[in-house]
Structure 1
C-alpha cells in the first residue's frame, strides 16, 4: 500500500502499454527461471527439499517489499510498479500451468492449490497496491499526508514479524548449510540476476530492475507451493528464508558494480 500511495494509475498498467518490455520480463521471470529451477533439480545432487524449493521460488511472483531495492538502485518507478502488478496477475495463470508441466517432466504428482495462490497474491500484492494507487488518484491530499506514515508503520511491522521468525527457524537454517545447498541457491540467484540484466532492455535502469526482480521472489507463495508438495517437511520455511538471506548477499556485488559504473560514467 505504501508503494501504491507513491504511484500513479498509469504505472500499474505500464507494461501492458509496452508489450516488448512485458514480453522480456515474462520471458526472464516466468519461462527461463522455471527452466533453470527444473534443470538444477534434475541435474544436481541436492536434498529433495531444496529441489522443490528452487522450483517453487522460480515460479513465484515478486515479493511485496520488492520495490525498495530497485528504487534505491535508480530504477524507474513506473516499471517497478508495473512489473509487480503484471507479474502478480500473470502468476495466477502461469503458476498452475508451469506446475502441470513440471509434473509431466518429473513424472510425479504435484499438489497445488490455485485458490491459496490466488488469495495470497491478491491479499499481499494486488489489493494493497491497487488501494494505495486509488487513494493517490482520487484523494491526492490524503495520499501526501499518509505516505510516510504508512511506510514507517510497514517497516516497524516487518521488523517485528520477521526477526522472531528468523530466530525461531535459525537452527533449521543451520541444518541446511552444507551438501551444496548454499552454493546451489547462490547460483540460482546469480543466474537470475544475469538473465534479468541481459533481457532488461536498452535502458540501464530497466536492466537493473529486471535483474533484481528475476532473482527476488515472493517467499509466502514459494512456501505455499513447496509445503503443498512436502506437507510433512518442517524445513520448508527455513529453506525459503535461507534463500532470502543468500539473495541479499549475492546481489550486493551486482549493486556495487552498478554504482561503480555510474560513478565512472559521470
Structure 2
C-alpha cells in the first residue's frame, strides 16, 4: 500500500514542492492550504488531495485530518511547513503581528501535530517533520519575532521527540536557509511596509541592510526543490536523526553558532551588524 503524507502550506514555495516530491515518489499526498479553490499548479488526482487547512483555524485542521484518513486510510508523515516571517526592528512591530507570527509558526504547528498524534499512536509509527530555519539556530537582527518563533519550534520539536520515540513516532527538524525561489520574501516585504519607522534606528537599519545585501550576493543557488528532497529523505531514511540542514548557504553561521565559543560568536555577529558598516 502507498504511504500518505499530509503537508501544510502547499499554496507556494516549499509546501508546493514538498507535495510534488512525495507524489513523484508514489505517495498519497494531502496537500493542504488556506484556499485550495485558487490552486492552479497542483492538480487533484487519485493520489493528490487538495484540502483546506488554515493553521489558525482548528476546525479546519480537524476536518483536513479526518478527510485525509477517510480518503487514504492512514497518515504516515506530517510535514508542518506553513509559516511566514516578520521583518523589521522589534519596537516598530505591532504586538498583534507578533501574536500572529506565533499563531502560525508555533501554535498552528502544534495544533496540526496534536490532531495527527492519535492516529500515529494507534499505528505505533509515523514521522512528524517540522520545517524550521537557519533562524532557529542563529539569530539575525530585523527578524527577532521570526527567530523567536523558530527557536520555539526547535525547542518544542526536540522535547517532543523524546516523548514520541518510545511510541515508534519520529520527530525531525529540517533547517533551510534563504531560498529565493519561494514567495516567503514577498510577505515579509509586505509586512515590513506596513510599519512606521522610528528614526533612532535608521543608522542601524541602513548598516544591517548592507550586510543582508552581501549575504544575498554570497548565497548559493539553493532551490525549494532541493529542500523538498531533504524533507523526503528525513521522512524515509528510517533513522532517529533529529536535525537536517537543508541548504549549504547557512552552514558557516550554523557552524559558528554550534562549534565556536559563545564569546567569539557574539563578537563576530556584533561586528557584522555595527552601524559603522
TM (norm. structure 2) is 0.30
Structure richer in helix, relative to its length: 1
TM (norm. structure 1) is 0.31
Structure richer in strand, relative to its length: 2
Structure number with bigger Rg: 2
